[in-house]
Structure 1
Amino acid sequence: MPERERFEARDEAGALAGRLTYQLTGAIVVYTHTEVDPQFEGQGVGSALARAAMDDARAKGRTVVPICPFLSGWLDEHREYETLVARSTRKIK
């Protein structure tokens, strides 16, 4: 939902399962927060949101700044997106 600056995951009935929010400035996208509804935790919703967000950034030629701790950790395990990520020399925890 570009107008809301977020990606949403919904179940088959249309219920909101999770969201990943972002802020966009030119070609830089800052992913700020990932939230999964408790009833959908452990079902891959967060990973699906992360993959959709990163694939979107790749398709649009954007540089990613992963402020969200979930996404940052997910990216540590998914090095295929490393070329999109702006990393500093220090890790913020």
Structure 2
Amino acid sequence: MDDLQLIDNSEAKQYEIHVDGLVPRIEYIKAKDKIYLTHTEVPRGLEGKGIGTSLVKAVLEDIEKKDLTLVPMCPFVAMYIKRHPEWKKLVLKGINIA
């Protein structure tokens, strides 16, 4: 996964990577300095290979680099942050990751 390039496809409002002709993605909404991650989708042929997890990590690194505040609306992203609490620093204050 480390050799795959994360693409911020702002026209489609999604982060994406290209794997074997498939496009795992995380859809988002940006508003000023906030980014709402709304939906993560990994094509069926790539499920169970850790690609979704790697994609979330790469997206969080990009959000941190761009100094955005994260609002994780997608349950998959929220679960990742719960398992990796070092990323809670990006989350909008007052949002509880259950």
Give the TM-score normalised by structure 2.
Answer: 0.82
Equivalent residue runs for 1:1-16 within 5 Å: 1-11=9-19, 13=20, 15-16=21-22
Counterpart selection for 1:60 from 63, 66, 86: 66
- Cα offset for 1:9? 2.1
| Range moving further from structure 2, 42-51 or 63-72 | 42-51
Residue matched to 1:41: 47
* Aligned-partner Cα distance in 2 for 1:90–1:51: 16
- Structure 2: where are the runs of 5+ without partners? 1-8
Give the percent of matched residue pairs that are identical in Structure 1 and Structure 2: 31
- Aligned-residue Cα RMSD (Å) equals 1.6
* Aligned-partner Cα distance in 1 for 2:85–2:10: 26
- Cα offset for 1:82? 0.9
- Cα offset for 1:8? 1.1
- Cα offset for 1:5? 1.2
| Range moving further from structure 2, 15-24 or 59-68 | 15-24
Which 4+ residue blocks in structure 1 deviate beyond 2 angstroms?
Answer: 87-91
Give the TM-score normalised by structure 1.
Answer: 0.86
Aligned residues: 89
Q: As a proportion of its length, which structure holds more helix? A: 1
Q: As a proportion of its length, which structure holds more strand? A: 1
Q: Say whether residues 1:19 and 2:14 are aligned partners.
A: no
